[in-house]
């Protein structure tokens, strides 16, 4: 609804103010051009999707493994956390060209950048989630003679799930942007390079069309995480009903 209203206002403004379509094209024009250039858009979206998914998968696995190590070792947690926080303060604009310089125009630097921007929210969510385990549940398992690893598997990991999915939703919104940024810094194909070219050719309509595609991608990924959460946490629904 809000999006429809925004588009309508934009359409009206673009038509009535007499602004040149090379400065601000109307949404209708963007849609038309997107349709005309759909093959090129599709061809360029594909590498972006690939970089996003691979990068995200790498980041997810690394975050998961490291979170377990950090949960089992307090010194490791103390040592590593500052490093990760610093990694988050690095400006992407500066990092992206460097990574491309070091690793070339292929898939690797893109995967690395996507991983870099999505890694931290998931790691923090997992580590915090483990900590949120109900004290009584841990004590109960201990009284049953469960090992530390069993306590982690039976109690700490499931307790972290709601936190994990919250972190996942934040991460996924960064993922596409991260990939586009990497392509912007240098790529043969991809939405990032498509946007760069369209800008250089004074085609704001195609820039916006590509932005539309990336926004749709992000929304789809977000939707998938919500779906996965429903499947992975079927009890969550009842807890929310109860809270009301």
Binding status of residue 166 toward another protein by CB under 8 A: no
Among 40, 53, 92, 137, binds another protein (CB under 8 A): 137
CB of 71: closest distance to another protein in angstroms?
Answer: 18
Phi, psi of 233 (to 5 degrees): -125, 65
Size of the site for another protein (CB under 8 A): 23
- Look up tokens 């992000």; give the residue: 218
Residues in the chain: 244
Among 7, 146, 166, 170, interactor with another protein by CB under 8 A: 146
Residue 131 lies near another protein (rule: CB under 8 A): no
Q: Which residues contact 243 (CB under 8 A, 6 or more apart)?
A: none
Choosing from 134, 216, 220, 224, the residue that interacts with another protein (CB under 8 A) is 134
Element (H, E) at 87: helix 74-89
Q: Both tokens of residue 37?
A: 């250039």
Candidates 15, 43, 131, 239: give the one binding another protein (CB under 8 A): 239
Per CB under 8 A, does 225 bind another protein? no
List the structure tokens of 80.
């590593």
Residue 57 to residue 206: CA distance in whole angstroms: 30
Q: Does 139 bind another protein (CB under 8 A)?
A: yes
Q: Which of 143, 188, 231, 244 binds another protein (CB under 8 A)?
A: 143
176/218 Cα distance (integer angstroms)? 6
* Position among 154, 166, 170, 211 found at the interface with another protein (CB under 8 A): 154
Closest CA to 125 of 152, 154, 153, 160: 160
- Which residues contribute to the site for another protein (CB under 8 A)? 134, 136-137, 139-146, 150, 154-155, 158, 161, 233-235, 238-239, 241-242
């Amino acid at each position: 609804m809000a999006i429809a209203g925004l588009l309508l206002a934009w359409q009206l403004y673009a038509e009535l103010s007499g602004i040149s379509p090379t400065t601000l094209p109307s949404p209708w024009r963007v849609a038309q051009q997107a349709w005309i250039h759909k093959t090129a858009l599709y061809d360029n979206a594909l590498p972006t999707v690939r970089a996003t998914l691979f990068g995200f998968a790498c980041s997810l696995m690394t975050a998961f493994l490291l979170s377990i190590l950090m949960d089992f070792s307090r010194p490791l947690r103390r040592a590593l956390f500052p490093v990760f926080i610093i990694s988050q303060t690095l400006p992407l604009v500066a990092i992206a060209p460097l990574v491309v310089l070091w690793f070339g125009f292929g898939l690797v630097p893109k995967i690395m950048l996507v991983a870099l921007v999505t890694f931290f929210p998931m790691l923090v969510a997992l580590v915090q989630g483990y900590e949120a385990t109900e004290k009584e549940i841990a004590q109960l398992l201990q009284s049953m003679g469960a090992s530390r690893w069993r306590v982690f598997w039976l109690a700490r990991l499931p307790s972290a799930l709601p936190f994990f999915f919250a972190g996942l939703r934040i991460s996924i919104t960064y993922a596409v942007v991260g990939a586009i940024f990497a392509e912007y810094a240098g790529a043969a194909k991809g939405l990032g390079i498509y946007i760069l070219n369209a800008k250089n050719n004074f085609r704001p309509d195609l820039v916006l069309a590509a932005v539309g595609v990336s926004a749709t991608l992000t929304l789809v990924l977000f939707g998938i995480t919500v779906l996965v959460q429903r499947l992975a946490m079927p009890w969550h629904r009842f807890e929310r009903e109860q809270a009301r």
